[in-house]
Amino acid sequence: MRKYLNARLKSFRYAGAGLMFLLKSEPHARIHLLATTLVIITAIAFDVTRQDWLWLTLAITLVWAFEAMNTAIEHLCDLVSPEQSESVKRAKDVAAGAVLIAAIAAVIIGIGVFSPYICALI
């Protein structure tokens, strides 16, 4: 049992190292961190409902997950094919496009969640 728990703990350390690498190496990840922080602060300030928190959490999670996968794909492509390749370029572009789709969806969700709170102030 102890061996199993140690292995799981190692897995969390690897995941944490991956997230730290993501934040240190990717400027877009730092932009996502700023956006995440602003959304959380705004949600707290507006005292959003539990359901609104769920939507915001989903949006934030999707953007972060896609950004992490994009970074992993980019690094793997660079390792497998360090020379210029149209296929590698397309793979990287599609992965970046997935992040863009998630970010646009997050903005739409954010507008949907925060609009009633903002309108109530006006």
Catalytic residues: 67
The whole-angstrom separation of Cα 12 and Cα 2 is: 15
Please give the C-alpha separations between residue 2 and each of 5, 7, 8, 46, 68, in angstroms, as whole numbers. Answer: 5, 9, 10, 45, 30
- How far apart, in whole angstroms, are the C-alpha atoms of residue 101 and residue 109? 12
Identity of the amino acid at 114: F
Q: How many CB atoms lie within 10 A of CB 110?
A: 19
73 within 8 A of 95, measured Cβ to Cβ = yes
